Structure 1
Amino acid sequence: MKLLVALARLSLVGLVLLLHLREAAPQPCPGQCSCSGSTVDCHGLALRSVPRNIPRNTERLDLNGNNITRITKTDFAGLRHLRVLQLMENKISTIERGAFQDLKELERLRLNRNNLQLLSELLFLGTPKLYRLDLSENQIHAIPRKAFRGAVDIKNL
């Protein structure tokens, strides 16, 4: 009986260790991008959309200077550690509601020099740590009253 209990404990320890190693294993870098630590650099690659399979541990994501036209609600899903997101100098005209909802740690977001004309309601819901948001050099002509609800810490706009 003692042997059976010891084997069960050993199996449980092995399973926990395996799960931990799986979480800690480095995830592959998306296609043409370069990755270093928790930074993913995809700037200036003429990308037309946000790359898939961005590593979950990413803290900084640079997508500046591409040809991205649309941000969908699944583009950044699961990137719970992302602190800096750079999307300037693209051709973004649409950002779906909920696109930033998983970004609980997001502090800085650059959306300047795009083709934004309208922000959707509750666009920044789920970004309680966002303190710097750059929307300059867009053609924004309407901002709904609830667009910034949830982004309670914005200091620089």
Structure 2
Amino acid sequence: MALTLLLLCVLLPSATLALPFEQRGFMDFSLDELGGLGMLNDEEGSADVPPELPICPFGCQCHLRVVQCSDLGLTAVPPNIPSDTLLLDLQNNRITELKENDFKGLHNLYALVLLNNKISKVHSKAFAPLKRLQKLYFSKNMLTDFPTGLPSTLVELRIHDNQIKKISEGTFSGLNMNCIEMGGNPLQNSGFEPGAFKGLKLSYLRISEAKLTGIPKDLPDNLHELHLDHNQIQAIELEDLSRYKHLYRLGLGYNHIRMIENGSLAYVPNLRELHLDNNRLSRVPTGLPEMKYLQVVYLHSNNITQVGTNDFCPVGFGMKRAYYNGISLFSNPVNYWEVQPATFRCVNDRLAIQFGNYKK
């Protein structure tokens, strides 16, 4: 069975804003990935389940510890799932609820795919048997609250495009994760209860296409990537970024940002990539020359009317450790021929500057 490669939340710098995970095939996992985890072994698998006693839910396909039950019109999790299953695909069904014993005995399950169902209720102990679960894909359902009792082994959670309006205190307590994608939910700033992220260690967080009017408070302070694009954020105030000293990628494109308070960017000294495109800025944010590691700045599609000689590069030599390899300023009401060449003296290559005349 052909399995396509899963793109994990690999924290590698890139010049593009990370997009929500979208599954295009049966399972976006690779045999190599599972083999590297010591989970996939043909000989061991054939020994675990005697050939004379094949077990597979009715209508599903079972092969190499992968159970595919997608697109079957199921209204509940099917029984008789083999106990040695590593990947369980239940996407594109009509499941409405996860009950306490739905995953009983699946102690080896590594990934659970529940995309595009109608799930609105999850029992608090539904995930209790899943002692090794690392990937949970819960997007495009009808959840109004985050499920409780998430496994402590969970590494990646995709739960975008639901109806979640609130994140309760202690939801992620004790978890150490790489990635949470919760975009496409009607979350407002008031929907984050105090302590909602308490005890969570997290590298990547995306809350896009929500109803945020400002950067949420008390997000995990060890974040490396934070993406809040396609919201209604109006401004970046002085203390908004004070917790996130480890950020190296910040995505704030497609908001309503008019103002970035002086000194705000000083709280993220390790930033490599900054997305402020498609906002309402009238000037280049202050503080960019002091950001020693900043390499990519997206400022296109704003209202910037003037670019100063020292807006990007420090005065003098030896202050900026990393040269820019990408600055976008197109679709702004500023004439590129009026910008002094010295403005981009700390840019790696002239092709890294994306400029052009402004057209309404």
TM-score range, shorter chain: 0.7 to 0.9
Indicate yes or no: 2:131 matched with 1:104: yes
The residue correspondences of 1:111-130 to structure 2 (distance < 5 A) are 111-120=138-147, 122-124=148-150, 127-130=151-154
Indicate yes or no: 2:171 matched with 1:147: yes
CA-atom RMSD in angstroms:
1.8
Residues 93 and 114 of structure 1 are in contact (CA less than 8 Å); yes or no, is this contact kept in structure 2? yes
Moved over 6 A (4+): none
TM-score for the superposition, normalised by structure 2: 0.35
Aligned pair partner of 1:34 in 61, 64, 84: 61
Q: Deviations over 1:124-152 (max 9, x none)?
A: 1xx222110011000101222122234x2
Residues 70 and 93 of structure 1 are in contact (CA less than 8 Å); yes or no, is this contact kept in structure 2? yes
Residues 95 and 119 of structure 1 are in contact (CA less than 8 Å); yes or no, is this contact kept in structure 2? no
The residue correspondences of 1:5-154 to structure 2 (distance < 5 A) are 24-25=49-50, 27-120=54-147, 122-124=148-150, 127-150=151-174, 152-154=175-177
TM-score for the superposition, normalised by structure 1: 0.79
Residues 27 and 55 of structure 1 are in contact (CA less than 8 Å); yes or no, is this contact kept in structure 2? no
Q: Deviations over 1:21-63 (max 9, x none)?
A: x954254100010000200000111100000110000000000
Residue type of the alignment partner of 1:69: T
Distance in 2, matches of 1:64 and 1:23, equals: 26
Unmatched tracts of structure 1, length 5 or more: 1-21
Identity of matched residues, %: 36
Q: Which has the higher contact order (CA 8 A, sep 6+)?
A: 1
Per-residue deviation, 1:83: 0.1
Q: Relative to 1, partners in 2 of residues 1:24 and 1:36: Cα closer, same or farther, differing over 3 Å? A: closer
Q: Which has the larger radius of gyration?
A: 2
Residue type of the alignment partner of 2:115: M
Unmatched tracts of structure 2, length 5 or more: 1-46, 181-360
Residue type of the alignment partner of 2:91: N
Residue type of the alignment partner of 1:130: L
Distance in 2, matches of 1:75 and 1:98, equals: 10
Distance in 2, matches of 1:30 and 1:77, equals: 14
Residue type of the alignment partner of 1:66: N
Distance in 1, matches of 2:168 and 2:104, equals: 24
Distance in 1, matches of 2:56 and 2:120, equals: 27
Indicate yes or no: 2:179 matched with 1:156: yes
Secondary structure class of the residue paired with 2:112: strand
Aligned pairs, number? 133
Q: Which structure carries more helix by proportion? A: 1
